[in-house]
A and B are shown apart, each in its own frame.
Chain A
Amino acid sequence: MTPARPASPHPVLQLDQVSRKRAGRPAVQTLSLTLQPGQVLGLLGVNGAGKSTTLSMVAGALRPDSGSIKLNGEDFLEHPELAARSIGWLPERAPLWPELTVREHLDAHGRLRGMHGASLKQSREAIIERLELQPLVRRLAGVLSQGQRQRLGLACALLHRPVLLVLDEPANALDPVQVTALRAVIREQAAAGTAVILSTHLLPEVTAVCDRVAILHEGMLRHEGNVHADDHAALEHAFFEVAMGGTARAA
């Protein structure tokens, strides 16, 4: 069980008028979002809607062309080192170093985030146990199945107890049992005060774990609202309305 975090007066994440072009065309346009501690935001959109670009910017791997990103009230773009200690990011297809073992991956990720010695070992063992990675610890990342890679990627993202967890299509290649386990981890993190952004194509994923949803289309925020677990039809309606080019009304 992840211990709860102390309350912060600031939103965990605040995107203000963020824009970014990729390959000469606008990938994200004037996007504004706020995320409070413990909230789980589902980011929906068709392919090319700007979800991955948004998450890359939030994770600190990509600079926006304009706008500001604040993390716990601090300007993230002026203090890029905030990413190391505050954000856990699982990119799409969990990129890994194939020649390192699972344990070496966790150690490397910990050290890159400034963790050392006993605290690193303690966090590493805790996350190995929580995500049931014990049978894999000596295995090379290059020989892991896609589902195992996702789990290792998630472990790396959670290792340093981030205040913001950024998950890009985390349920890709997971079997139903693993999807259920992933949902439990997300809920557990949210209950401990971690804010979560979850990008997905799967609407049931959003209704299962998210409090709020933001639907992007052509790089713009077209719909933002709360999610109710029993309101799958309303979400589906909003998604298809946006995907067909309209702008859905906020719930």
Chain B
Amino acid sequence: MIFLAVMRLELRRLLVRPLAWVLAALTLAELAWRFVLLLGNFLGSQVRLAALPSGPGYTDMVSVPLLSSLLTGSFVPFGLTELALFMVPLLTMSTLAGERNQGTLPLLFGSGLTSSSIVLGKYLALMVWLLLWLMLTLAMPLSLAHAAHFDWGKLASASLGTLLLLATLGAIGVACSAYTTHPAIAAVAGIMMALALCILQIGAQTAGVSNGVINWIAMPTHLEPMLRGLVSTSDIAWFLLLIALALALATRRLSADKERG
């Protein structure tokens, strides 16, 4: 359980870094703005929607769109998943690249830690931070739980999808950080990879290509059903596969570092 010591160390470093707090404050402020706009829109159309037999409710019009713009299409102000594409790589950029840059990586190796313990510890610390971020975001729609009717199943499904997306972006960010000495390069690589996973499908469709493999690789294919309330094993497996692949690559790179010296 030595990775817990690494996790604690990394969490402490995240907590004292201004960047993590600034990012959290700015993104939560932006999400609060989006929440107010979504709520205003919902209240404005409440009478009309009430007349429909199966019209969208508070969860469909406020809670889920706060997490992602994927279903609503109104991207600005950004939902949490859109913000995560930029924020998570900025949070992860220093995890391993920073250690390498400061020369502290050999200290971790010299503590008898395996590469997998280092990667896992750092990844879990990041996940604690991202989980906190997601919970604070969810607290906004949940603050009206006493006055609104929730579709709890749909909200749970959308939250799970968003959590898996954050976990995947975190793993990709850690992997990018493992492959460079400069945190800025890790951040750019992480953002590019995250964007590529999201717009791959749109790019292919624009070019007139409709390919099953491209659709399967694209992240929206697996996130969208969860945002609609449909949880399937294959979608969860896609996220877990990507997380495992990214963390395995990070571990492999770190092991190579130890071998190379």
Contacts and interface: CB of A to CB of B under 8 A. Distances in A.
A1 B103 CA distance: 32
Given A100-B12, A112-B9, A84 B111 contact: yes
A20 interface: yes
A61 B259 CA distance: 9
Interface in B1-48: 2, 5-6, 8-9, 12-13, 16-17
Interface string A32-62: 0000000000000000000001001001111
Interface in A104-157: 104, 108-109, 111-114
A82 interface: yes
Nearest to B104: A95
B124 to A, nearest CB: 15
A87 interface: yes
A81 B261 contact: no
Contacts of B113: 84, 112
Given A61-B109, A83-B111, A111 B261 contact: no
Interface string B221-261: 00000000000000000000000000000000000001101
Given A62-B258, A95-B102, A100-B13, A84 B112 contact: yes
A81 B12 CA distance: 24
A61 B102 contact: no
Contacts of A179: none
Nearest to B18: A99
Interface residues of B, number: 24
B204 interface: no
B207 interface: no
B258 A111 contact: no
Contacts of B103: 91, 93, 95
B102 A112 contact: no
Contacts of B12: 100, 104, 108
A201 B78 CA distance: 58
Q: Main SS of the interface on chain B? A: helix
Contacts of B17: 99
Contacts of A108: 5, 8-9, 12
A153 B243 CA distance: 35
Contact of A83 (B9, B110, B261): B110
B9 A82 contact: no
B114 interface: yes
B196 interface: no
A115 to B, nearest CB: 9
Contacts of B109: 60-62
Interface string B141-182: 000000000000000000000000000000000000000000
Given A53-B261, A95-B106, A113-B112, 5 more contacts: A56-B110, A60-B112, A61-B258, A112-B6, A113-B111
22 contacts: A20-B261, A56-B110, A56-B261, A59-B106, A59-B110, A62-B258, A81-B112, A83-B110, A91-B107, A91-B110, A95-B102, A95-B104, A98-B102, A99-B13, A100-B12, A108-B9, A109-B111, A111-B8, A112-B9, A112-B111, A114-B2, A114-B5
Sort A-B residue pairs by CB-CB distance and give the 3 closest, nearest first: A84-B112, A95-B103, A111-B5
